[in-house]
A and B are shown apart, each in its own frame.
Chain A
Amino acid sequence: MPGLPPGATAALKSSAFQAGATVCGVASAAAFDAHAPAGHRPGDLLPGAASVVVVGGSQPRAGDWAATSPWVLQTMGTTERIQSVGRKLAQQIESQLGYYALYVPPGTASGDTPFLSLMLAAQLAGLGSRSLAGPVLNREHGFMYWSAVITTAPLETDTVEGESACPAPPCREMWERERTTPCLKTCPADDGGCLAGTLEHGRAVRTFYDAARCNTRVHTHWVGGFQKVLEETLNETDRDRRKMLLYGDFFTRTLWAITYSSTNIAQCFECMRVCPAAHGLKEMK
């Protein structure tokens, strides 16, 4: 098989930036083996996978973060913008380089799990690192959305970030004062939230995460919420009370969200909203 032309990786990244990506990196497909169990690696989706191209961007703007309604961040659908960049790169790899390219679908595979962990892919492509709250944060741009392409093309890979964006200096100072951080304070596992953690030698260490409760917040008006109301409705013997559930605001909002599912998948941003490393508190007029 002929190799890649010189500068192929750089040309691909240039295309990603032109298409709207804020960051772009490449991970070796083999790098996933040490972190992802069998069945969740690039080669499980595309046999012969050599590289994973990851793009990030489409961050919410300062006005989105400052909005008074939690539904703003849930419905603006910026994930779609970065997904289109991923699709474009997959097309380019196949048409210009002649290698297989599989755009990683943004939805879930069977078992309610992603096809491939985009956050792990972003980390291995050197684009960011895990925050105490969970999402991968880029050191320069903070919180962003991700898209990835698995390919058999042996692209030049990037190195994993040495230093992480989390904890940010204000979080270290807060920890010294209050033994908590903004994300832990807003969603504490010991007070009805999802997160627990500590800072050790300036590093953030997550000690506990309640994914099931996080699901009630991230997918409030999505598949989980739909199933819970449906179950409640089926168990309700009174016809009028059934109607109140089905015609009520919760179920109606859920149906709207599911109808436009690709722009409503993430529905809780509170740990990121208060995170200085995610977007900072930019002064706007």
Chain B
Amino acid sequence: MGVFRLDPAIYNRYKDQVLKLCNSFQRIDRPGLSDRQIAEQLGLDERTVTEIRCVAERDCYPLEEWEKAIEFKRKATLEWSALALKRPDLKPK
């Protein structure tokens, strides 16, 4: 017996609905639901919804987005350093 493993077919069938209902993309007019609440709405068990959400949240963006995050932070940090230290020369090119 291995660990709980989500059936990829179930994942592909429900991932969009789970992402829409959970807190991953928060909109002001639509509070996110807990896994238990999503499970009740979709007729699934809570553990399956938890697994779908965990995988889907990681699946949302490709690895390139992680690389973009590094550049975003590097640039934003230098922009703030330039402002806070009054050193315009530190501004990223």
Measuring CB to CB, which residues of chain A are less than 8 angstroms from any residue of chain B?
Answer: 37-40, 62, 65-70, 110-112, 186, 192-193, 205-213, 215-217, 220, 224-225, 227-229, 231-232, 250, 267-268, 270, 273-274, 281
Give the shortest distance, in Å, between B32 (CB) and chain A (any CB).
9
Tell me the complex Cα distance, A119–B65, Å: 27
Instruction: Supply 26 A–B pairs (Cβ within 8 Å), ascending by A.
Output: A37-B34, A37-B36, A39-B34, A39-B36, A40-B34, A65-B84, A66-B84, A66-B85, A68-B78, A111-B53, A112-B54, A186-B76, A207-B27, A208-B27, A208-B28, A209-B25, A211-B25, A211-B26, A211-B57, A212-B60, A220-B70, A228-B58, A228-B63, A229-B63, A250-B67, A270-B80
Residue B90, interface by CB 8 Å: yes
**B interface: dominant SS:** helix
Tell me the complex Cα distance, A224–B82, Å: 31
Closest to B35 in A: A111
Name the A residues within 8 Å of B23 (CB-CB): 211
Contact of B69 with A268 in the complex, beta carbons under 8 Å:
yes
Contact of B70 with A207 in the complex, beta carbons under 8 Å:
no
Partner pick for B36 among A38, A216, A224, A273, CB 8 A cutoff:
A38
Residue B17, interface by CB 8 Å: no
Residue B41, interface by CB 8 Å: no
Contact of A216 with B66 in the complex, beta carbons under 8 Å:
yes
The count of residues in chain B whose C-beta lies closer than 8 Å to any C-beta of chain A is 38
Tell me the complex Cα distance, A61–B41, Å: 46
Partner pick for A227 among B37, B58, B69, CB 8 A cutoff:
B58
Tell me the complex Cα distance, A3–B68, Å: 56
